Amino acid sequence: MTQRVKRASSGVLLAFALVLGLLSVSSPAASAATTSSVVRWAEPVQAAPNFIFPFMTLDNFSVANINTFQYLMYRPLYWFGSGGTPNLNPSLSLASPPRYSSSSKTVTIDLKAAKWSNGETVTSRDVMFWMNMLHAEKGWWAAYSPGTMPDNVRSVAAPSSSQVVFTLSAPVNPSWFTYDQLSQITPLPVAWDIASLGAPPGSGGCSRAAYGSADTQCDAVFSLLSRQSGFNPAVPTMPNLALGTYATNPLWQVVDGPWRLSSFDTLGNIEFTANPAYSGPVKPTVHKFIEVPFSSQADEVASLANGSVDVGYLPLGDVTSRTTNPYVPSKNNSDLGAYNLRPMYAWEINYFPYNFNSSGAYGTVGKIFHQLYFRQALQSLVNQPRYISDIFKGFGVPTYGPTPSSPPSRATASLSKANPYPYNVTKAKSLLSSHGWKVVPNGISTCQSPGTGPHRCGPGIPRNAQLTFNLEYAPEVALMDQLMNAEVASWAQAGIKITLTTASSNVVLSDAVPCSARESCGWELANWGVGWLFEPSAYPTGESIFLSGAGSNSGSYSDRTNDANIAATVTTRATLASYARYLSRQLPVVYQPSQVTSLTEIKKTLRGVMPQNPLFSITPEGWRF
């Protein structure tokens, strides 16, 4: 599922934290690590993992839990992130690339040879276990959206121990189904298919049953596994009291990944040891991998300065040398000479939404936002290259549409990276004045020609309506104060007055919810900081954020042409071109520059960390001194 998330350090709607992913290059295959070497990795500030069962509710659906914790022990069916891109990585996947029928309604998956640490083989039964769990518990699964998996899966069959066949209810775009649907699956070991502790493996009845026929049995298994992980479905608000048991609970020691959990505490001090039974292509070459928690950025920077971590992160505010290339630092902080500095950009777009149904100014605000000319004027006053250079010190990339401009991927390689609305104060003023507004630079522009027609303000916008709006934003996102104040000054040049208020990222997200035109919904503009991260659903379609009525369509944008374009990217083999081109020009949101996701400090003696994974996953089994 694609996520409306933030990388803000203080937390996010889906508990995503400002997390960094690192994908190793392949190292020579080796048996289990034989050295006593240790790698220490700095957790992003206040982003310690807190959930181990890889079937999570919304509250636990975080990068900290999935990409930098669970994936080390429990491998997903398909791994995404290859050579610094979000592309499918067949070598690290548990299965060969899926095969689609000519109708795109049948999907065949062939599993590779892989082993669980208890000696069992990873088989089609483990995939059936996941799918039966999803069928029974889709309401608890954070990545579920109505109409998508499992709703669009008619049947799942396991003709052999190494093959799984999906029959779908309608044709799909293979790229979308692979990157956005199959990407959700993590095979589960039969040892977990129990309804009570100590019961025989498989006795729970969820893994062996025909698809969709064992909801009651899966309910009991889900309840047990969730409670062992610290979530009680019967009392969802209970605090997690199981954290201290993660490293000692036998359930969680059954792994198919390269690492086993050897120590875990409630503060986020975590130790992994190499899994000697790991059958994947890159075996650990260090004996132990340690994740180190931090409560503040200052503490993490201090740990870098004294060399107590091997991989950590430098806040953008601590950069001492501006760069002219967002991917190549000019030089590192002088206090960190033992490290190489490497920027990483997430697979995301940055934006903040208009509330098209805002009741502000007795409904006038929402009606103004519906006018494309107004959105064009506002976007023409967003000077993304200037902000990247002056505020982000060169460490940023622009956002000109609904698909990521960086890093490169197969899905977006052919899409235009041009800006349809380059910075142009004269153009912005002209757009407003030609549609009936009296433009008052550094004042407040007012409507002088109400009504419909090519040279009027637009339907429902009364005479003397003002271009004055409220924008709530999250100041804890790095450098956000500077960015917002710079944009406010720019918009003022066309008489668009924006009044800023601040709130935490979580509050901004909770305020910026979709609302109907029939209800009082006063928010107008809201910026939680970093827009949308396409992970774990890496195919950047817009059904979650721009489709009419979508749950994460914060501003309630609705457009029939766009809906048809999105449907084509999901149900046919259409590329993203029409969808991306249309929304680049229709401006459903205010597109914003994306600052560097993280500036990674890597010990000069440590190899295999580069290139970094824009989907945040780490593979320390390939790191070596």
For residues 315 and 385, state if they share a domain.
no
For residues 211 and 198, state if they share a domain.
yes
User: Residue 70: its pLDDT value, please?
Assistant: 98
Compute and round to an integer the Cα radius of gyration of the chain: 25
SS3 157: strand
Expressed as residue numbers, the domain containing 47 is 1-74+256-345+597-625
pLDDT surpassing 50 at residue 135: yes
pLDDT surpassing 50 at residue 76: yes
For residues 541 and 522, state if they share a domain.
yes
pTM score: 0.90
HSE-CB of 332 using CA atoms within 13 angstroms: 21
Query: What average pLDDT does the segment 238-266 reach?
Result: 97
> Could you tell me if 44 and 9 are in contact, meaning their C-beta atoms sit under 8 angstroms apart?
yes
Banded model confidence at residue 13, pLDDT cuts 50, 70, 90:
very low
If one compares 227 and 408, the residue with the highest pLDDT of the two is 227
For residues 475 and 569, state if they share a domain.
yes
**Would you give the DSSP letter of residue 236?**
T
Banded model confidence at residue 398, pLDDT cuts 50, 70, 90:
very high
Query: What average pLDDT does the segment 4-31 reach?
Result: 32
**Helix H or strand E encompassing 264:** strand 259-264
- Going from the C-alpha of 229 to that of each of 14, 54, 55, 140, 389, the distances in angstroms are 18, 10, 10, 14, 45
For residues 302 and 394, state if they share a domain.
no
For residues 620 and 531, state if they share a domain.
no
Last residue of a domain, one of 230, 248, 266: 230
Q: pLDDT for 400-431, tens place per residue?
A: 999 999 998 989 988 988 999 999 999 999 99
Tell me, yes or no, whether 40 lies in a domain. yes
For residues 320 and 427, state if they share a domain.
no
CB neighbour class for 97 (10 Å; exposed up to 12, middle 13-18, buried from 19): middle
Tell me, yes or no, whether 79 lies in a domain. no
Bridge pairing between strands 396-397 and 351-353: unpaired
SS3 370: coil
Tell me, yes or no, whether 246 lies in a domain. no
Number of domains in the chain: 3
Tell me, yes or no, whether 275 lies in a domain. yes
CATH of the domain at 224: 3.90.76.10
User: Residue 4: its pLDDT value, please?
Assistant: 42
Q: pLDDT for 463-497, tens place per residue?
A: 999 999 999 999 988 899 999 999 999 999 999 99
pLDDT surpassing 60 at residue 24: no
Which two structure tokens, joined as six digits, stand for 197? Answer: 């502790």
Tell me, yes or no, whether 88 lies in a domain. no
pLDDT surpassing 50 at residue 9: no
Distance CA 336, CA 554 (A): 41
For residues 1 and 119, state if they share a domain.
no
Tell me, yes or no, whether 89 lies in a domain. no
User: Residue 36: its pLDDT value, please?
Assistant: 54
Distance CA 30, CA 373 (A): 61
CATH of the domain at 615: 3.40.190.10
Banded model confidence at residue 23, pLDDT cuts 50, 70, 90:
very low
> Could you tell me if 188 and 552 are in contact, meaning their C-beta atoms sit under 8 angstroms apart?
no
For residues 551 and 473, state if they share a domain.
yes
Tell me, yes or no, whether 248 lies in a domain. no
For residues 156 and 184, state if they share a domain.
yes
CATH of the domain at 535: 3.10.105.10
For residues 41 and 168, state if they share a domain.
no
If one compares 188 and 58, the residue with the highest pLDDT of the two is 188
pLDDT surpassing 50 at residue 11: no
Q: At what angle do helices 372-379 and 425-433 cross, to 10 degrees?
A: 160
For residues 531 and 569, state if they share a domain.
yes
Tell me, yes or no, whether 557 lies in a domain. yes
